[in-house]
Structure 1
């Protein structure tokens, strides 16, 4: 656990003394009200909150994984769960992070795949929610179980974000910024921590908080939320935002490196000509990375009251099995050119994980 903390959190540990304020009640209320006004799309039927175990396992998905290009991966995961448990699986697709989190918290779903911050918020809302498994890194262990949070700018504008030929966070002041959701780990919590840590030593920004980054006026001229990593990236590429936060794994099906190396500051990515929605409107567009930060991998989590301990144990055994690790519809071969939720380049698989593994992210929000 020590290794992953130091690998995944180099920026955070350097700024441990920075106070990151909790979102206040009004911000939370407005976010939830807005979220609940949106409609959650579903491949099944979202029923009333369950109070006991039944014969249907509902999986709620974040907007990032709710696209049609992810359908085959969702269906294969549903198929193996049905095969193992004998229960039908319904996939509840969403358009907002808060909807997915509240669906799990309010006993309207058995399982969810969500970032560390989403899990932490769900756990705070309902203590019976537990991590099921987390995808490992290429080593097949938790030592390298990480993905990357990006800060990106349009390639033609990159010189506007440099000082002395190096990218600098000093340049984002007064710019139009796009995040994913204030419940997104890599699309808000991590980049916000990095930005706050950088500006804390600057006059006038000593008390900069997460709340300040949620709206224009304090640091940014305008703040947008894409409601998905894909949406935040498109905000940048369409010209709606000048800087955007999003993660590598959520856009890797749509973009390719055309200059530099993957996950390296200064590398240039281009949207594929055959990219699916929402990138089909910005095909050929290019962006460059001005910031890259490793982040703990996202878990599958379970509401154990509605899933039941028996199925929880069964699914942990199923997901961590060699059969699942070798299932190419779940862990898609990296060089296959196919879309997927998870990719296999070496020994990737699912691993059991304890709640405490997410403490480094939990500390950023306290």
Structure 2
């Protein structure tokens, strides 16, 4: 059994230490008839810079359902997944892998909406996962003039979390395939494939590990980084250069202006907003879907912010980006990749 799967099984043993935005009281499980809904966010979506975006989402859910909505931010992916799987949170903004793991624990966890690509459809509703190295060291990772994973063995590696799709599952799966490993077990801790393994606990944290010099190689995605920096060239393939903005806020204040280069890039399906149907009614789910796919939300910069926006949106606006209703069937490629 892989370390990734072991970590998921061990979630029940973890303390569910959720941080509430409005009140400091413990989170209570709520049923379909409750007048309260709890919405949980992954660490990457729990940054202070996204306070306004989180508030905007909860306000729309309140408009749709008439119910009080609590925000639950987290510092651990396992905590967020466990919260939605057990029903302590009725709604959650999950990565594809986080959703698949929550769905595996409880089939009552289903996706409600995801956000489209530039076309406004699901045809390009994906983002990118990267394996990055510092720009100054990038040439060392070329084989016959092309970027390769061949020279990452024995390096210090930073992942996001072992339950992150683009920050662990996808890159670890690619490394497993490239080196013909039996599983990803040896990739999750130091002293085996890598000399040292770090976990940033967010995509921002993993990037900082790399740019500060604590790691030689790092995995993170573009979706969580584009409001802190800019790609200098084609962001869809190996060779993509990412540069931190000169005025980037925390946690990038100490690495402003630094650059990293992707030695590998992988397409990942966009993240879903999910619901646990055991603790939220079908009627409420349909109301939320209708509200979030409305033009007022589509045009709200707190949901879809321009890349240069001063206030961070929940997602970056690109072309006709909007929310689209989905079902579990749309995530079949992710289910297949992860074997879940």
Which digits, 9 at most, give the CA deviation of each residue in 1:255-305, with x for residues without a partner? 123x42333422322211221221122222211111111110100000122
CA apart distance, 1:244: 0.4
Which of 284, 305, 321 is residue 332 of structure 1 equivalent to?
Answer: 305
Contact in 1 for aligned 2:127/2:223 (Cα 8 Å): yes
Which digits, 9 at most, give the CA deviation of each residue in 1:194-250, with x for residues without a partner? 1111111xxxx4x2x111211123321111111111111111111111100000001
- CA distance in 1 between partners of 2:188 and 2:11 (Å): 11
List aligned pairs for 1:157-172, cutoff 5 A. 157-172=137-152
CA apart distance, 1:31: 6.3
Gaps of 5+ in 2: none
Instruction: Provide the secondary structure at the position in 1 that maps to 2:19.
Output: coil
- CA distance in 2 between partners of 1:326 and 1:27 (Å): 39
How many residues align? The count is: 337
TM-score normalised to the size of structure 2? Answer: 0.93
Which of 207, 210, 221 is residue 195 of structure 2 equivalent to?
Answer: 221
Hey, what does 2:213 align to over in structure 1?
A: 239
Instruction: Provide the secondary structure at the position in 2 that maps to 1:345.
Output: coil
Q: Does 1:248 align with 2:222?
A: yes
Contact in 2 for aligned 1:22/1:365 (Cα 8 Å): no
- CA distance in 2 between partners of 1:68 and 1:79 (Å): 18
Which of 28, 35, 39 is residue 17 of structure 2 equivalent to?
Answer: 39
- CA distance in 2 between partners of 1:237 and 1:25 (Å): 29
- CA distance in 2 between partners of 1:32 and 1:266 (Å): 40
Q: CA RMSD in A?
A: 1.9
Contact in 2 for aligned 1:32/1:98 (Cα 8 Å): no
Contact in 2 for aligned 1:38/1:95 (Cα 8 Å): no
List aligned pairs for 1:201-350, cutoff 5 A. 205=181, 207=182, 209-257=183-231, 259-350=232-323
Which digits, 9 at most, give the CA deviation of each residue in 1:17-75, with x for residues without a partner? xxxx6447755456664xx3573322034422224431112110000010111111111
Of Structure 1 and Structure 2, the greater helix share is in: 1
Hey, what does 1:68 align to over in structure 2?
A: 48
Instruction: Provide the secondary structure at the position in 1 that maps to 2:20.
Output: coil
Which digits, 9 at most, give the CA deviation of each residue in 1:58-101, with x for residues without a partner? 11000001011111111111112212222121110000000001
Residues 112 and 168 (structure 1 numbering): CA distance in 2 closer, same or farther, change over 3 Å? same
- CA distance in 1 between partners of 2:74 and 2:43 (Å): 5
Contact in 2 for aligned 1:181/1:225 (Cα 8 Å): yes
Instruction: Provide the secondary structure at the position in 1 that maps to 2:267.
Output: strand
Residues 109 and 231 (structure 1 numbering): CA distance in 2 closer, same or farther, change over 3 Å? same
Which of 179, 187, 202 is residue 167 of structure 2 equivalent to?
Answer: 187
- CA distance in 1 between partners of 2:4 and 2:228 (Å): 36
CA apart distance, 1:306: 1.7
CA apart distance, 1:178: 0.9
Instruction: Provide the secondary structure at the position in 2 that maps to 1:143.
Output: coil
Contact in 1 for aligned 2:4/2:162 (Cα 8 Å): no
Hey, what does 1:14 align to over in structure 2?
A: none
TM-score normalised to the size of structure 1? Answer: 0.87
